[in-house]
Amino acid sequence: MAMANKAINLASVGSVFPSSVDKLKKSSSSTSVHKKLRVSRFPSVKAVQSPVESGTGRWARQRRPQNVDGDFFVDHTCIDCDTCRWMAPQVFKRVDGMSAVFKQPTCKEDRLNALQALLSCPTSSIRTEVPPSDILEAQKTFPIPIDEKKLPGVYHCGYHSEKSYGAASYLIIHPEGNILVDSPKFTERLAQKIEMLGGVRYMFLTHKDDVADHGKWSKRLSCDRILHSQDVEVCTTDVEIKLEGTGPWSLGEDIMLIHTPGHTEGSVCLLYKSVKVLFTGDHLLMRESGLDIMEIYNKCSVPAQLNSVEKLLELEFNWIIPGHGRRIEFKDVQEKNTILEAFVQEKYTQHSSSMNVIRSLHV
């Protein structure tokens, strides 16, 4: 099975690391934090609908002029969710605020990655001039293992949903029952593949934004949904398990749920202790500009979110897998803590400065 979206060594792509870590790098006399952190290159942007004529008009589905000539292209309905750019960075990049094909696939692997991105695009904005004869082969690759050696049993589901602004969903194969992290777009083909991997016992919803087709998945796979009570809305009132209080909660010996309020009141992260990976939803992610908490989309409290990021210093993990943005692999827990501490300190300073400006405007 093909493996997409590998984390790549930052040292191989140049200086694209966050300012907080650049500061740490300068102060380090022994080893460089910058060179050790592994992360994909391209930025994550919360999806925003592009301005199109009528939204469903013929023009919207036409090829963007920013695409290079060739079979694959992105049309004007792109919402800049960034999915294709991290699934097939050798084919897609951001041009003038949306994705575009900057290089047509030239080998079998590149073509497969491009087709996987096409199938995962939440708005079906990636198209081909000629119907792809190998699309079924691409469909069979889902769910895609992230790293079979370092993260055995952890899969990317693909099929991102526009209802979740293009967020990614993941499958954890676990001896005590498999776990689906957030909801992909429902498709029977994916459901059958998940059944072949043992089905799903729990659907863990990190927060209220990324629930997508949770009802269809719950019914199809007969799994119990988990969501914090503070994030329950009309569309999720029937979830089977509503978390109460501040936790933590356990789903087994090595699965812990950690309440991380801030992005929303009921945001919760999942720590898979055995492989040292933290699924963060929208709580914390990596963009090209660095670690990010997406303050512009905060629905609760930025200081609360930063406090919740500080809570992560107490946890032992080497990977961050977010709902949006780059996956991050740290060298070890010490590096993780060094980077998170610098990030929180920098964000607190920025937020304090912003609040002082706002107060001065009201004097």
Burial of 3 (0-12, 13-18, 19+ CB in 10 A): middle
d(CA 237, CA 182) in angstroms, rounded, equals 16
177 lies in a domain? Answer: yes
288 lies in a domain? Answer: yes
CB 161 within 8 A of CB 213: yes
- Residues 89, 151, single domain; the answer is no
Domain count, the chain: 2
Instruction: Give the end of a domain, one of 71, 94, 129.
Output: 129
Instruction: Give the end of a domain, one of 129, 161, 183.
Output: 129
The reported pLDDT for the residue numbered 183 is 97
206 lies in a domain? Answer: yes
CB 282 within 8 A of CB 323: yes
The reported pLDDT for the residue numbered 351 is 74
The reported pLDDT for the residue numbered 56 is 53
The reported pLDDT for the residue numbered 354 is 56
Range of the domain at 59: 46-129
Buried b or exposed e, range 297-315, using 16+ CB within 10 angstroms = eebbebebbbebbeebeeb
- Residues 110, 231, single domain; the answer is no
15 lies in a domain? Answer: no
The reported pLDDT for the residue numbered 71 is 97
Provide the CATH number for the domain around residue 221.
3.60.15.10
Residue with tokens 């605020």: 97
- Residues 99, 202, single domain; the answer is no
The reported pLDDT for the residue numbered 287 is 76
12 lies in a domain? Answer: no
CB 138 within 8 A of CB 238: no
- Residues 90, 188, single domain; the answer is no
The reported pLDDT for the residue numbered 294 is 82
Instruction: Give the end of a domain, one of 73, 101, 129.
Output: 129
Low-confidence ranges of the chain (pLDDT < 70): 1-57, 288, 353-363
- Residues 65, 210, single domain; the answer is no
The reported pLDDT for the residue numbered 7 is 45
The reported pLDDT for the residue numbered 37 is 47
269 lies in a domain? Answer: yes
The reported pLDDT for the residue numbered 60 is 83
- Residues 157, 119, single domain; the answer is no
